[in-house]
Amino acid sequence: MITQINTACKKMKIIILGTTEFTLNCAKAAMDSGAEPVLISLPEKSRPVNSADTAGFAEQHKIPYYEIEDINSAESVSLLKKLKPDCILSSWPMIIGKEALAIPKMCIGSHPTALPHNRGRHPLHWLIAMGIRESKLSFFRMDEGIDSGSILLQKPFAIEEHETIADAVEKVNAIAYEAAKQLCEQLSTIQAAPQDSSKANYWRKRTPHDTVIDLRMTADAIKRTVRSYTKPYPCAKLIFEDYAISIISAKTAEASPESKRMEPGKIISIKGNKITAKADDAIIELEAEKIPEKLLKAKYIYPPTKYASKWSSEQAKEFEG
C-alpha cells in the first residue's frame, strides 16, 4: 500500500534535530529549499564523538537555536509545542517518544541502510565491519518503532574496500544534503511506502568487545574491524598484558614461505609504531597509536582472553567504558 503525503515543505517551519555534520547539511538543505529551519542540539557535554559545531552554524546562518538534554522531557515537549513546527527532520541519537512525535504534521527520520534491512544501532560501523559494500541512505516517516516507518526517499551509496568509518561518514553527510533538499522540494508529491517488516533485522549496539583484534581472525576481518572504528572514534584494540593498544590502521604485509608455518600471534617485527605479526591466514601490519615497551620484548601476542582473564574488575570496567 502506498500512502500519499500531501504536506508541502516550501515555507514550512522545520525543526532540525541532531548534533552532527549530517544534521547541519539537512539544515542547509531546508534553508536552500525555502523552508524556515530551527536547529535543536544536545548540550556539548552530552554530544557523541562525531558531533559538529551546531551553535556556530546557527549563529552564522542566523537561525533559531536551542539545546536540550532530553527530547522527551516535559520541558522539551513544551518547547516543541511552542515552536509549532510543520515538520521535524531528525538525526537525533536517541529515541523520540510518542508525545514529541505527535506535535508536528510529520516527523522524518534517517538511517544509512537499505531499510527494512539493518535497522538499529551503529549502522555505518557494522556495514564496514561486516564487509557490506552497498547500502542506502533512507529517509522515513517516523513512528514509535525503531527505523520502522514508511520510506519517503532512499539514496544508494557504496563503501569501498579501503574506506574507513570517517570516509563513510563524510560520504553519507554529502548525500544527506542532496537527499534532504530533494525531500523538501518534493514533499508535496512524494509517496511513502510502508516497509516490509518481515524482511527486517536489527543490529545491536557495538561495544568495545566488538572492536578487539584477535590475531586468530583472518587478515580481512582484522582490517575491516580496524577501518570500522578508527579515528575520530576510539580505535580497535589489540590486547597485550595490561594494555589495550589503539590500532589506527591495518594492512596485509608481504609474506615469506615460512610464514605459512607460523601460528597466529607470532610477532615478526616491531618498527616504530608498526607491529607486523601473523594473523590466521596472512601477515598483517598494524599501525598503533602507541606501543608499550613491554611489547618490544615479546615474541607472541596471545588471544585476548589470556590477558583479559587476569585483569582486575577495575581494569575490565575501564575497558568497557
**Structure confidence at residue 10 (pLDDT):** 46
* C-alpha gyration radius of the chain: 23
**Structure confidence at residue 27 (pLDDT):** 97
For 165-210, the pLDDT digits (tens) are 999 999 999 999 999 999 988 877 888 999 999 999 999 999 999 9
Q: pLDDT at residue 130 above 70? A: yes
For 146-167, the pLDDT digits (tens) are 999 999 999 999 999 999 999 9
Share of the chain above pLDDT 90, in %: 87
Domains in the chain, CATH or no CATH each: 3-203 (3.40.50.170), 208-320 (3.40.50.12230)
Separation of CA 169 from chain center? 7
| Greater pLDDT, 241 or 48 | 241
Q: Measured at the alpha carbon of residue 115, what is the angle toward residues 41 and 96, in degrees to the nearest 5?
A: 30
pLDDT bucket at 283, cuts 50 / 70 / 90: very high
pTM of the model: 0.91
**Structure confidence at residue 190 (pLDDT):** 82
**Structure confidence at residue 277 (pLDDT):** 98
Beta pairing class for 13-17 and 36-41: parallel
Helix, strand, coil percentages, rounded to 5, for the chain: 35, 25, 40
Q: pLDDT at residue 292 above 70? A: yes
Amino acid residing at 237: K
**Structure confidence at residue 189 (pLDDT):** 80
Mean pLDDT of the chain: 93
**Structure confidence at residue 321 (pLDDT):** 79
Give the three cell numbers for residue 260. Answer: 605459512
Share of the chain above pLDDT 70, in %: 97
Report the run of H or E that residue 116 belongs to, with start and end. none
